Amino acid sequence: MARVLVVEDDQFVRSALIRHLTEAAHTVRSVGTALEALREVAQAGSGGSGGFDVVILDLGLPDLDGAEALKMLRGVTDVPVIIATARDDESEIVRLLNAGADDYLVKPFSVAHLSARIAAVLRRARTAEHGDGLEDAVLRVGGLAIDPLRRSAVLDGTPLDLTRREFDLLAFLARRPGVVVPRRELLAEVWQLSYGDDQTIDVHLSWLRRKLGESAARPRYLHTLRGVGVKLEPPPAEGGPA
């Protein structure tokens, strides 16, 4: 069971989501504008003591575009946000992921599909919060130091400002330094999806590279093997002879 905030201005869609999510044993609150959503989240807090576990956010809101609302939500909470949108443009999806969305669904979608996505983001959030008890030691790869318990990452003494998904991806790869991890495994373990678009991975890799001070053309830590997967390893100067 999850505490869900539905942000949807279409009354028909909103009522259907409330009904089906309630039938699935979730506790649901709903609002029809971005400003109401921000007020609800700010008053409730995030997770734990009465806060929401996940937000379902429509983009076509009457007061603010949903993308702007997402940006504002990210300023006050790290609660998982699933975008529910009729916009299926690839560049729009990339922009939303870059802005901090945890997942997205293109309308129309089935309730079963939505429920599966909610379950997936909740599993990721709980794993991130509690850890698994076995992989909590600080991970070191070259000048990178990643602390899974504190969810902090430092590069050459400078803290990195990572989103939750960027941190999860970096930590997952850091636990397997030098090992090429298949994209399908990344989707399954980091995103907890059995299928998906490789662009989801590429977007997060691109932003992670920027924060590591590198690019796909001139990689230092993150190396992509086309058609195979991704690996994290220290630069030659830090990790010994190439």
Domain locations in the chain as residue ranges: 3-130, 139-239
3-state SS assignment for residue 33: coil
Ordered DSSP codes for 79-119:
--EEEEES---HHHHHHHHHTT-SEEEESS--HHHHHHHHH
**Ranges under pLDDT 70 in the chain:** 45-50, 125-136, 194-198, 237-242
pLDDT at 134: 43
Superfamily name with CATH number, domain 3-130: Response regulator (3.40.50.2300)
DSSP-H helix ranges across the chain: 11-23, 34-44, 66-74, 90-98, 111-130, 164-174, 183-189, 198-211, 236-239
| Of 236, 189, 21, 36, the residue nearest 118 (C-alpha) | 21
H/E segment holding residue 224: strand 222-225
Go through the chain and tell me how many residues it has. Answer: 242
Q: Which of 157, 140, 141, 139 is nearest to 235 (CA)?
A: 141
**Residue 194: its H or E element:** none
Q: Domain 139-239 falls in which CATH fold? A: Arc Repressor Mutant, subunit A (1.10.10)
